[in-house]
Structure 1
Amino acid sequence: MTRLVYQQAFIPSPDSARAIREQIRQVLQNLGAAEQTVRPMELAVSEWIMNLATHSRPYVQNASISLQRADGQWLFAVNDDGGEFVGFNDVPQLPDDPLQASGRGLYLLHQACPNVAYLPGNARNKHNQLILPISELVQDKPRILLVDDDPSQVALLSAYLARQYAVHTCCSGQQALDRLHNETFDLVISDIDMPDMGGIELRERLLGNPSLDTLPFIFVSGSEQVREPHVVSELAIDDFLRKPVRHEQLHAVVSRVLERSAQMRRRLSDYFDKQLTACLHPQLPDNGRWMQAQVWSRAATAGGGDLIQYVEQPQQELVIFADLMGHGASAKFAAHLVGGYVRGLLAASPDQPSPAALMSRLSAALYHDKLLAHTLMTLFIVRFCSAHHIDLVNAGQPRPWWFDGERWKQLNLGGSLPGMQANAAYSQCRIPLAPGQFVLLCSDGVWEVGSSAQERAYNEKVLMQLISNNRHPDRLLAKIKAWYQQVCPLGGRDDTTIVLLGQRG
C-alpha cells in the first residue's frame, strides 16, 4: 500500500533547496523521526537539489519531491525532467584537496543515505527519479531529550539508551528549551552545569510553563557539581544520577520514571474518559440526502485524535475525516478546532466550494495560523452531490478503496499534508457510486498494528487480503473490527477509524 504524506513541486536553486530542507525537517519531526534520521535526509535532499541546479544538462524545467510509505517502507522520491545523471553509482572518494569541489556532493549524498537509488528516465517514465529510503520513520519508542555540553557523556548515555528509546540531544539548557517548545518528549535527562543555561534554570523554566511542568525530569551530575543540593530538592525532579552512570542503573531509573509517568496519565485518562469519549467519538448519520454511512472507531486513549464531521448544504453533503498526529483528549480537541475552521470557511464562502477548493483554503489557513502551524494532520474531504458519484480529496490519508459492485480496488489517490505551504493546490477525484458501490476510508491506525516493522508489514498484508477478498461490503466493517480486536486486543498505539460510504437506496 502506498501512502503519500508530503509533495512539493520546485525549480532547482539554492532558495528551493533551503526551503525544502526546512519543510522536510518539519514533516519528519512532526511524524516523530529522530534527529539522527532528520539530518541525513536534510543533507541528502539539499545536496541533490543543488546538483540538479548546477549540473543537469539539459536544465531541469520541472521537479518535485514527495514523502510516501510504500509496502511498509518510508521513502523520499525526487523527480526531475532534466538530463540523466551518468555514473551515479560511481561514488568518488572524498578528495584530499579541500578546495576541490568536484564529486563532493555525490559523496555526501551516498554517505547520508547509503541505500539511495537513481532511476533514469525512459520511454515509459520520462522523469528521472532519486529514491531515498528511510529505515524506520515513525518512532514507537519513548522520546528522550538528553541535555549535556560534554560530547563524550552525550555519546555514552546515547549508546546506553539507543536500543530502547529515541534519543535526541542538546548541548545547553537554552537549546533544550527551544526544542521543548516545538517538539514532544517523554523524558528530559539533563546535566546541571552547562554554558548559556544550566540544568537547574532549565528545570525552573519548565516548572513555570503549564504545558511542560509535569514532564518527567532526571538530573545527571558529578558530585562536585552539586553545590546547592537544597535547590535541586525543591525542583520536583523524578530522580538524580551521579556520574559515572552505569548502564544497568540508567536503564532501571529511566524505565521506572517513564512507567510512573505513564501510570499517572492512565489514571487521568480513565478519570476523564467517561466525560470525553461519548461526546467526542467520531460518528456520522446513517443516512443523509444521498449518503449512506457506517463508522467504526477505536481510540487509543480518552477522546482520540480522529474527527469526522458531516455538513449538509443546499446542493451538497460533505464528509470531513481528519486524523491528527497523536492521540488522547488534546489531539481530539485539536481535531475539533480544525473542524471549527472548516465550518468557518464554509460559512464565510459565498459559494459552495468543491472539496479541492475547500482543502486548499483549509491548508492556507493552517499554514498561517500560529496555533495550528505545528499541528500535523491528514484529511479526507468527500462530497455527495448526486445519486451517481462522489468527489473525493485525500491529503495524506491512506489510499481509499472502491467497491465497483463486484470487487474492491485500491485507488491511486493521494495528496500532501495540509498546512505545509501557503498556496497548496489539491486535485479531486470523481468516483462512480451507484447503488451497490461503496468507498472505504481508513485512518492509518488500522494499517500500523504491531510492535515491530516486520509485524506491521505482515498485518498490513493480511488486512489488504481481507478487504480484497470481501464481496459483501455491508459486512466488511464487522470483519475488520473482529480482525483488529484479535491482533490488537488491548488497542493500538494510534486511534483507528474506518468509514464505509455508499449511496442511499
Structure 2
Amino acid sequence: MQRIIFSDQFPVTLSSITKMRGKLQKTLIASKIENSLVSKILLAFSESSTNIIIHNNAIEPLFISFSQYQQEYHLAIMDNGFPWDPTTYNSLESDQLSIYSENGRGISLLHSVTDNITYNDSDSSYINHLTLIWEIPSTIYTPSILIVDDDEPTSRLYSAYLEPFFNVSFTTSGRDAIEWLKHNHIDLIISDIRMPDIDGISLRKHVNQNPKIELIRFIFMSSVREKDIIDRACDLGVDDLLHKPVSRDTLLQSIKRVLSRTEQIEQLASSKIQRKISNLLKPQIPSSFDIWKMCFKHRNTGRGGGDILLSHRTADSINITIIDIMGHDEMAKFFSYAYGGYVRGLMKSYTPPLTPSKLLEKLSKIAFDDDLLSHVILTCCSLSLNVNGQLTIASAGHPAPILISNNSASCVNIGGILPGLTPNASYDEMTIDFDRNQRIAIFTDGLFESADTPDRRLHLENKIVDSLINTLNEKIENAISTIISTFDNLAGKPPNDDTLLLLIER
C-alpha cells in the first residue's frame, strides 16, 4: 500500500528547484532515511527537475510527490511540457534526438543513482509522469562503537575483532574523539587511559559533563596497573575496565554484557513511567455513533512513542484522529503524552469542530513552532463521520486507508506532508459518500511493517488485505478479531512496532 510522505508543487524556474530541494531534504531527514540514500534522492530530484525546466518547455507548476510503496521509495515528478522518456532514450528515432538526447540531460546519472525508473506521458492532457524508485534497505540495528587509543595498530586489531558484529570507528587521541562525538551517534566508547594530550580519564569526564552524550556506555581498556589511576577511573562510573592485552573473546563478552545490562537497567527505570503513560494513552472510541459502527484493536510493544486514537462527538458528527509517534525510547512516550493532550484540546475547543484538514494544519504548526515538540516525528490521520453518511478524511504522512467493497480493496489516495516540516503546511480533504456494503480500514504502519524481512512484510500485507476482503460480510467485531489474529500469527507477540487498526462501517 502506498504511503504519501511529501507532496508539493513549484514554479518552472531554476531558483525554485533549490527551495524545493531544501523542503524535500528536510522531509527525508525527518523520515530517518539513511544519509547515503538521501544524497541519491536529492541528486536525482535536482537533475531531473533541471532537465524538465531547461528542455521540456513546461509552462505550469511542476508537481512532486515522495511516497513509500511496499518496500520502495517513489519520487514522482509531473510536468506538462514535451515528453522525455529516460527509460528509452537510447532507442529513439533520429528526428527526436533534439528532445530526448542524452547530451546534457544526465539520463545515465539518473539510472546510476536509482534502482528503477518508470515514465508515462499523455498526449491528451500533456501530463508527463516520471517516477524514480529506490528499494528500502533493511533496518536491522547494529550498535556503534568508538575505540580511542593512541596506539593505532592496537586500535586496528581491536576493530578487526569487532567489525563482524558492530559498526566500529577509532581515533588516536582523546581530542579527536571529542570532535568525533560532536557529529556522530555512538552506543559505546572503548578508551585507553594513558594517552598524550587528552587522556582517557579526561575523556570520560567530558562525556559525563555533556548532557547530549552522558548516557553513552564506557569501557576502559588499558595496560595501566597503578592502583590510584585505576581507582580514579572506576570512580567515574565506567561500565567495565579491561587490562591489556585483551583477547577477542574477552572483549566481545564484555561489550555484550555492558550493552545488555544497560538495556535492562533502562527498561527497569522507565517501565513504571511507561505503564502510567500507556494507560493514559490507551485508545478510546465509542462502538457506534448514529448510523456508524466502529471497532478497533491495538498491539503495544511496550517501547517508545506508540499509537494514539482520539474521538470527539458533536450533535451531527464524530471526529476521530489517529496519531503515530515515531521513536523507541522514553522520550518518545513523553511526546506521545504531550501530543495526545494537545490534539485532544484541539478537538474539543472549537465550535463547530475543526475540519480534518484544519486540525492537521494546526497540529503541523505547533509541531514546527514549538522548540520541544519539533524534535519528534509523527504521522496523523483525521476524519469526520457525519450523520448524512459522509466520511471526510485528511492525512499527514500517514498510511493510506483501505476501502473495502464488493470483494475488493483499494487505497484511499489522500496524503500530505509530515507535520512540522514547513511553517504553513496545508492539507487536502477527501469526502466519501459511504455505502452500507462498504467498510474502511485506518491503521498505523506497524500493521504491515512488523515482520522481520521485506519478503515477510509483503506477505503480511497481502494476508491482511485478503483478510479485510474476506471478512467484509461478517459482523465488524468478528471481522476485526479475525484480522488481528492473522496479524498476531504472522508478526508475533509482541510485534516489532506498535500497531493500531480501526474499522468503520455504516
TM-score for the superposition, normalised by structure 2: 0.78
**Cα distance in 2, alignment partners of residues 452 and 6 from structure 1:** 25
Q: 1:493 aligns with which of 492, 496, 503?
A: 496
- The aligned amino acid for 2:485 is A
Larger Rg: 2
- Counterpart residue number, 1:96: none
Corresponding residue number in structure 2 for 1:481: 484
Shift of 1:445: 0.6
C-alpha separation in 2, matches of 1:82 and 1:201? 62
Out of 171, 175, 178, the residue aligned to residue 173 of structure 1 is: 178
Seen in structure 2, the aligned counterparts of structure 1 residues 302 and 108 have a Cα distance that, compared at 3 Å, is closer
Mapped partners of 2:236, 2:206: distance in 1: 10
Q: CA offset at residue 428 of structure 1?
A: 1.3
1:414 is paired with a residue whose SS is coil
Q: What pairs with 1:119-130 in structure 2 (closer than 5 Å)? A: 119=119, 121-123=121-123, 126-130=126-130
SS at structure 1 position matched to 2:371? coil
How many residue pairs were aligned?
483
Q: Is the 8 A contact 2:404 2:469 kept in 1?
A: no
Instruction: Show the counterpart of 2:97.
Output: none
* 2:121 counterpart letter in structure 1: G
In structure 2, how many angstroms separate the alpha carbons of the residues matched to 1:369 and 1:447?
Answer: 31
Query: 1:377 offset after TM fit, Å?
Result: 0.9
Where does residue 61 of structure 1 map in the other structure?
60
Counterpart of 1:357, as a letter, is K
Partner of 2:368: 367
- Please give the secondary structure, in 1, of the residue aligned with 2:392: strand
- Unaligned stretches of 5+ in structure 2? 91-102
Provide the residue aligned with 1:27 in structure 2.
27
Is the Cα–Cα contact under 8 Å of residues 86 and 119 in structure 2 kept in the other structure? no
Contact 2:277 2:333 in 1 (8 A): no
Q: Which residue of 2 aligns with 1:95?
A: none
- Once structures 1 and 2 are overlaid, which stretch shifts more, 429-438 or 372-381? 429-438
Pairing 1:214-233 to 2, within 5 Å after superposition: 214-217=215-218, 233=234
Structure 1 residue matching 2:32: 3-state secondary structure: coil
User: Aligned residue for 2:320?
Assistant: 319
**Contact kept? 2:221, 2:244, Cα under 8 Å:** yes
Measured in 2, the distance between the counterparts of 1:15 and 1:172 equals: 40
Per-residue deviation, 1:477: 1.2
* Cα distance in structure 2, aligned partners of 1:156 and 1:128: 55
**Pairwise mapping of residues 9-24 of structure 1 onto structure 2 (< 5 A)?**
9-11=9-11, 13=13, 15-24=15-24
Where does residue 462 of structure 2 map in the other structure?
A: 461
Match runs of 1:6-405 below 5 Å: 6-11=6-11, 13=13, 15-53=15-53, 55-59=54-58, 61-85=60-84, 103=104, 106=107, 108-111=109-112, 113-119=113-119, 121-123=121-123, 126-137=126-137, 139-142=139-142, 144=144, 173-174=178-179, 176-177=181-182, 187-189=187-189, 204-208=205-209, 212-217=213-218, 233-238=234-239, 254-272=255-273, 274-289=275-290, 291-301=292-302, 304-327=305-328, 329-346=330-347, 349=350, 351-404=352-405
Aligned-CA RMSD value: 4.3
**What secondary structure, in the 3-state scheme, does the structure 2 residue paired with 1:373 have?**
helix
Residue 118 of structure 1 contacts residue 128 of structure 1 at CA under 8 Å; is this kept in 2? Answer: no
Amino acid at match of 1:484: F
Larger mean CA deviation between 154-163 and 283-292 belongs to: 154-163
Q: Secondary structure at the match of 2:449?
A: coil
Aligned to 1:502: 505
Instruction: Determine the C-alpha separation between the residues in 2 that align with 1:153 and 1:35.
Output: 30
How many Å separate the matches in 2 of 1:255 and 1:19?
A: 46
Which SS does the other structure have where 1:236 is aligned?
A: coil
Given the superposition, is the C-alpha separation of residues 255 and 456 from structure 1 closer, same or farther in structure 2, using an over 3 Å criterion? Answer: farther
Q: How far off is 1:369 after superposition?
A: 1.9
Percent identity between matched residues is: 25
- CA-to-aligned-CA distance 1:161-208 (integer Å, 9 cap, x gap): 77766789997634633555xxxx6x1447789999998777545433
SS at match of 2:464: helix
- The answer for unaligned runs of 5 or more in structure 1 is 92-101
Take 2:417 and 2:153, find their aligned partners in 1: how far apart are those partners? 40
**Secondary structure in 1 aligned to 2:28?**
helix
Q: Give the drift of 1:324.
A: 0.9
TM norm structure 1: 0.79
